[in-house]
């Protein structure tokens, strides 16, 4: 005669579907919590609706000085005498900032003179281009 065990043992299983549901719930909770923690530092206003042409951003003005003391304004060769006259129209209506890209072997005097001429033309800020290390 065969005796039966009084208790049957079932092997445990890991159900993946409830675990996915829990992960999506946690994801949604953390997303909502992070959105509520943003501080926009602005006053809530009702903005008007309207249509307009997209704003055109002006290309930055680049003043390049090579190692042989040649001066270029946006890839066009200029001299110290003509620099101010050629730069004034480029600075009208835009940001009065000029990017200075000078070769490391260029003479400092030429770089400073070019920057002074650009200042007389109306440039108020100079951004110095450097190479990343």
**21 lies in some domain:** no
Please count the other Cβ atoms lying within 10 Å of the Cβ belonging to residue 117: 22
Number of domains in the chain: 1
* Ramachandran area for residue 84 (φ above 0: left; ψ -120 to 50: alpha; else beta): alpha
By residue range, what is the domain housing residue 72? 61-128
pLDDT tens digit string along 79-115?
A: 999 999 999 888 887 777 888 888 888 888 999 999 9
Residue 133 lies in a domain: no
Listed in sequence order, the residues at least 6 apart from 109 whose beta carbon sits closer than 8 Å to its beta carbon are: none
Residue 19 CA to its chain's centroid (Å): 39
Domain-located, residue 49: no
**Higher-pLDDT residue of 1, 18:** 18
pLDDT of residue 113: 94
Say which CATH number the domain at 110 has: 3.30.420.270
Question: In whole angstroms, what is the distance from residue 62 CA to residue 127 CA?
Answer: 9
**Rg, C-alpha atoms of the chain:** 33
Residue 52 has pLDDT above 70, yes or no: no
100: its two tokens? 């200075």
In a domain, 47, yes or no: no
Q: In whole angstroms, give the CA distance from residue 35 to residue 13.
A: 37
**Cβ partners under 8 Å of residue 78, min gap 6:** 71, 72, 86
Q: Which two tokens stand for residue 55?
A: 């704003």
pTM metric for this prediction: 0.55
pLDDT of 124 above 60: yes
Give the closest residue to 102 by CA, choosing from 116, 88, 91, 112: 112
The answer to whether residue 27 is domain-embedded is no
Query: Taking all residues of the chain, what is their mean pLDDT, rounded to a whole number?
Result: 82
Reported confidence tier of residue 67, pLDDT bands at 50, 70, 90: confident
The whole-number average pLDDT for the span 38-45 is 60
């Amino acid at each position: 005669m065969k005796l039966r065990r009084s208790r049957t043992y079932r092997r445990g299983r890991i159900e993946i579907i409830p675990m996915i549901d829990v992960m999506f719930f946690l994801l949604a909770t953390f997303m909502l919590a992070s959105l509520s923690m943003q501080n926009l530092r602005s006053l809530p206003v009702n903005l008007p609706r309207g249509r307009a042409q997209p704003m055109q951003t002006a290309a930055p003005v680049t003043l390049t000085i090579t190692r042989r003391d040649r001066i270029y304004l946006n890839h066009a060769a200029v001299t110290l005498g003509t620099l101010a006259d050629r730069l004034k129209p480029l600075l009208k209506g835009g940001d009065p900032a000029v990017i200075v890209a000078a070769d490391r072997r260029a003479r400092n005097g030429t770089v400073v003179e070019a920057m002074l001429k650009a200042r007389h033309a109306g440039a108020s800020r100079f951004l110095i281009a450097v190479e990343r290390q």
